[in-house]
Copies of this chain bind each other. A is one copy, B any other.
């Protein structure tokens, strides 16, 4: 966009660059598209951003995004309060929920340990997790469902140690061959784990 042809346009292009993965070129393209073809979309997005930024907080129990003090999953009385599944993000929680195979509660860390990026236990929800583990009704098993990446494994290790220090059982999602995959195309580390954990 021509700089200073319009200050509002410059400010919009600047503000769009606050979105992750959006640089100067895509921000210009987005601003241009919205102004030329979709002003309704621009206004809807403005309202949605404001409503979300002002109305979404963290669930007091599981720490996920919620409009209420306690999110619908934590407020569901039919769920097993003794099982606590620890995940990195709401998207991970959604993936587990879609399986329909889990009826316990969750704790969403909202991040993962990443010492190389300066992200330590205090930057993710370890302190509220500690409070959660010691709260009533008691948790009898912590299921570590962080991702199977280097950071996710490190996070699982730290959270598992915390849980065990409190005398709680801590389990990790099983590693193994994905359903539907052919051994020929599965990486060696996964096959090694599947062998070691055979049942």
Contact = CB atoms under 8 A, between A and B. Distances in A.
Contact of A5 (B2, B31, B47, B90): B90
A73 interface: yes
Given A1-B90, A12-B52, A44 B65 contact: no
Interface stretch (A19-27, A159-167, A169-177, A182-190): A19-27
- The size class of the interface chain A forms with chain B is 35 or more
A59 to B, nearest CB: 9
Interface stretch (A32-40, A132-140, A150-158, A191-199): A32-40
B34 A64 contact: no
B97 A11 contact: no
Given A6-B56, A48-B8, A52-B35, A28 B65 contact: no
20 contacts: A1-B65, A2-B64, A2-B90, A5-B66, A6-B66, A6-B71, A8-B51, A15-B47, A18-B34, A19-B41, A20-B29, A32-B90, A35-B53, A36-B110, A39-B53, A42-B53, A43-B49, A46-B47, A46-B53, A49-B49
